Amino acid sequence: MPPFDPPDEAEPVCPSENAAAMAQETNDLMDKLVALCKRRGFIFQSSEIYGGIGGFWDYGPLGVELKRNVKNAWWEDTVRKRDDVVGLDCSIIMNPKVWEASGHIVNFNDPLVDCKQCKARFRADKVFGVLAHRGDDVLLQAGVEADNGDQARQVAVSGANSKTRRRIDKAGEGLQWTVFRTDERPQGQAALCPSCGGDLTDARKFNMMFKTFVGAMEDSSSVAYLRPETAQGIFANYKNVLDTSRMRLPFGIAQMGKSFRNEINPRNYTFRSREFEQMEIEFFCHPEQADEWYTTWRDTRYQWYTDHGLTSSKLHLRDHEDKELAHYAKACADVEYDFPFGTSELEGIANRTDFDLTEHQKHSGRDMSYFDDQTKERFIPYVIEPSGGIDRTVLALLCEAYTEDEAPDEKGNPQKRTVMRLHPRMAPIKLAVFPLVKKEGMPEIARGIYEDAQASGMAVFYDEKGAVGRRYRRQDEAGTPFCVTVDGQTLEDQTVTIRDRDSLVQERIAADQVVKYVRDRLG
């Protein structure tokens, strides 16, 4: 990003009241989602009873099922259903030489700034200075946290008082904006703290790997790191997999699991956490085939997200410009989603060339080359890496699913409802079973359907408490795609009603067909 980022002349400046309203809407939606996630047991703050800990989150009974469904779907689609990808599960703590070879010890840094006044710490590339002025008349000057210049301007305006916002609105054409990243500030510009408005220090490097010690001694010889990505475990095991499986190029190794980064400013709920899960594939191929495989994986991964309920209007595939590429990468694209707090990355797909295997060969002294029996050629494979975040995928699914609409109550009167329109494959509970009343044998029949579904391996919920309308509402909030009710007619003809969460259509089907009916619609 250039050091000085004024808005394009031709670009209309968002009227300040609009910006404030948009920011309010964003906050409202996130507040409602966070409240629902806590109320219904999707996501809790880690160690909440002790005041929590920044950047760490726990998944409750519904959240853990949703997350497991994301992981299972990824594993099934990228490992089990493909002939050219195998799985791996590496340790989190590895020999520290791995991180020397990968460059993480030297290069895995974020620029850090401190507030001289309140001592708060920020990632310098996420703090922007925003100045609105008409000549020498400064209407607004602020330091804000944001992902880009446009967002920074919006945040600054929405945080200003109404008098300032009115002045900005009235300023008209003479109004000029200066927006800059704190670590790239133009000379003479002050960098202000987003918390208290105090002066910020110059940026310095901060390594994001969590350090620990292995064994009883706590000295430099026992330092180790929690892995900041799962990818390096794959590179370190590339030869093991090649030597012990029948895989030949082109082939991939997939791994999912925890990664840890000591983020300076964890934020946007679970989006930027300090402990999170990744799902990564390292796909090894001949250098001449790398461009083709890069395009294939880029498109396959984008499609995977749309297949699981992220609407394509909010999902983008953004190719990196050359200046954004890491020095070893030949190409990179991000799958991005329009979160309520801004458009941000879910997954990156990169052509990492032969960089990683070459570096590990250099540092370990082990031969990482591949010999092609047919062409008799020896070479270091190129690697295409689709690297996604499980927690970010869960968050995007939750944001996409959150809907407020109306549904009729028992008397047919429209009532407001909150419904999580999760893709059926991702929904934590697939089916809820209710007896209409707790008598006349209905609970026994309902329990029978519940037990059949459970025995088939389906995530199913039984509920006989309270009015049936309230039971539907609870399942709508949990994202359960189907609810079955056993009623008076069931006693006569062994049929039940099955209600679709999204269309609210209720069908009558045979009680012994419920499990099949639901299975056929899970996607």
Q: Does 229 bind ligand GAP (CB under 6 A)?
A: yes
> Within positions 40 to 99, which residues make up the interface with ligand GAP, using CB under 6 A?
none
Quick one: which of 386, 388, 443, 481 contacts ligand GAP (CB under 6 A)? 388
* Minimum separation from the CB atom of position 127 to ligand GAP (A): 17
Q: Which stretch binds ligand GAP (CB under 6 A): 28-36, 165-173, 234-242, 341-349?
A: 341-349
Residues near 515 by beta carbon (within 8 Å), at least 6 away in sequence: 449, 452, 453, 456, 458
Instruction: At 246, list the tokens.
Output: 């029948």
- 389 touches ligand GAP (CB under 6 A): yes
Binder of ligand GAP out of 67, 227, 298, 392 (CB under 6 A) = 392
Across 405-431, b (16+ Cβ under 10 Å) vs e yields eebebeeeeeeebbbbbbbbbbbbbbb
Taking residue 50's Cβ as centre, other Cβ atoms within 10 Å add up to 7
125 touches ligand GAP (CB under 6 A): no
The answer to whether residue 348 forms part of the interface with ligand GAP (CB under 6 A) is yes
Segment contacting ligand GAP by CB under 6 A, of 100-108, 217-225, 368-376, 383-391: 383-391
* Angle made by CA atoms 295, 299, 300, in degrees to the nearest 5: 115
Max intra-chain CA distance, the chain: 84
Site membership for ligand GAP, residue 263 (CB under 6 A): yes
C-alpha 206/C-alpha 124 separation (Å) is 11
Query: How many of the other CB atoms lie within 10 Å of CB of 72?
Result: 13
Q: Which DSSP string corresponds to 42-100?
A: SEEETTGGGT--TT-EEE-HHHHHHHHHHHHHHHIIIIIT-SSEEE----SB--THHHH
Of 338 and 464, which CB lies nearer to ligand GAP in the complex structure?
A: 338
The residue number with the shortest CB distance to ligand GAP is: 389
Does residue 231 belong to the site contacting ligand GAP (CB under 6 A)? Answer: yes
State how far the Cα of 254 lies from the Cα of 271, in Å rounded to an integer: 22
Q: Does 354 bind ligand GAP (CB under 6 A)?
A: no
Stretch that binds ligand GAP, among 26-34, 343-351, 362-370, 400-408 (CB under 6 A): 343-351
Q: How many CB atoms lie within 10 A of CB 32?
A: 14
| Residue 118 C-beta: closest distance to ligand GAP, Å | 24
Of 150, 25, 109, 41, the closest CA to residue 420 belongs to 41
The nearest distance, CB 282 to ligand GAP, in angstroms, is 9
What is the phi/psi pair of residue 381, to 5°? Answer: -65, 155
Among 261, 360, 423, 501, binds ligand GAP (CB under 6 A): 261
Phi, psi of 497 (to 5 degrees): -95, 140
Residues in Cβ contact with 320 at an 8 Å cutoff, skipping those fewer than 6 apart: 331, 332, 333, 334
Q: Which is nearer to ligand GAP, 391 or 476 (CB)?
A: 391
The single residue among 346, 368, 420, 442 that binds ligand GAP, judged by CB under 6 A, is 346
Residue 145 interacts with ligand GAP (CB under 6 A): yes or no: no
Q: What does the block give as tokens for 466?
A: 């309270």
Write down the least CB distance from residue 52 to ligand GAP, Å: 16
How far apart (Å, rounded) are the C-alpha atoms in residues 16 and 27?
Answer: 16
Instruction: Report 276-335 residues binding ligand GAP (CB under 6 A).
Output: 276, 278, 280
Strand partners for 257: 278
Question: Which residue lies nearer to ligand GAP by CB, 101 or 432?
Answer: 101
Note whether 268 binds ligand GAP by CB under 6 A. no
Count of residues interacting with ligand GAP (CB under 6 A): 18
Ramachandran category for residue 479: left, alpha or beta (phi over 0 → left; psi -120 to 50 → alpha): left
Q: Which of 482, 309, 337, 480 is nearest to 401 (CA)?
A: 309
Residue 507 C-beta: closest distance to ligand GAP, Å:
39
Considering only 174-182, 294-302, 388-396, 462-470, which stretch makes contact with ligand GAP by CB under 6 A?
Answer: 388-396
Q: Which two structure tokens, joined as six digits, stand for 179?
A: 């927006």
As a dihedral over the C-alpha atoms of residue 145, residue 149, residue 155, residue 160, rounded to 10 degrees, the angle is 110
490 binds ligand GAP (CB under 6 A): no
Looking at 28-36, 218-226, 385-393, 477-485, which segment touches ligand GAP (CB under 6 A)?
385-393
For ligand GAP, which residue of 126, 167, 181, 272 counts as binding (CB under 6 A)? Answer: 272
Containing H/E element for 150?
A: helix 149-159
Nearer to ligand GAP, 7 or 87 (CB): 87
Q: How far is the CB of 335 from ligand GAP (least distance, A)?
A: 8
382-389 and 402-408 beta bridge pairing: unpaired
- For residue 207, the minimal CB distance to ligand GAP (Å) is 14
Window contacting ligand GAP (CB under 6 A); options: 159-167, 183-191, 274-282, 365-373: 274-282
Region near ligand GAP per CB under 6 A, out of 130-138, 219-227, 299-307, 389-397: 389-397
Minimum distance from residue 260 beta carbon to ligand GAP (Å): 9
Residue 400 lies near ligand GAP (rule: CB under 6 A): no
Does 144 help bind ligand GAP (rule: CB under 6 A)?
no
Binding site for ligand GAP (CB under 6 A): 229, 231, 261, 263, 272-273, 276, 278, 280, 345-348, 387-389, 391-392
